[in-house]
Amino acid sequence: MKTLLHIVGWTLGTVLVLQFVQIKIPPAPKATKADEIKAPKEVMAILKTSCYDCHSNETKMPWYGNISPMSIAVHSNIKNGRAWLNFSIFNKYDEKKKQKIYEGIVQTLKIKTMPPPEYLLFHKNARLTKEQEKILHDWAQSLIKED
């Protein structure tokens, strides 16, 4: 009984102390509606359900999103995801960066790294179906300028 209490006590203590370990998400960049990516309706629907949590200003934070240690993973995904690609400010990017993004999308679809697997564990509806993969792929591919 005493051991059990010790375990419970240490676990609670650790979780409490962990709350001081937080990764700060930088403030979302300023954006107007005109800065947001424009794409066909079916592409927008895919981006919004499968990518926007980490790649836009419109993050839907899960209930555990601010509780450490989960928040460490959640916050770093949002911070790094937005830094690489933020669909809310897409039209502020120059053509070179946009090209890099279209190529990156084709690439990540091929190697199936997006959305990240740990995110899919908790967001089943974000998993891309074969059909969605094709829609997203064909859209990004059509915008790549070969030179």
Q: For ligand HEC, which residue of 56, 68, 71, 77 counts as binding (CB under 6 A)?
A: 77
Judge contact between 23 and 68, C-beta under 8 A.
no
Q: How far is the CB of 31 from ligand HEC (least distance, A)?
A: 18
Residue length of the chain: 147
Within 13 Å and on the Cβ side, how many CA atoms surround 23? 14
Distance CA(109)–CA(127), nearest Å, equals 12
Peptide bond into 62 cis (omega under 30): no
Binding mask 4-43 for ligand HEC (x = CB under 6 A): ----------------------------------------
Judge contact between 39 and 93, C-beta under 8 A.
no
Q: Which two tokens stand for residue 29?
A: 């960049």
122 makes contact with ligand HEC (CB under 6 A): no
64 makes contact with ligand HEC (CB under 6 A): no
How many residues sit in the footprint of ligand HEC (CB under 6 A)? 19
For ligand HEC, give the closer residue by CB, 31 or 140: 140
**What residue ranges bind ligand HEC (CB under 6 A)?**
50-51, 53-55, 77, 80-81, 84-85, 104-105, 108, 113-116, 119, 128
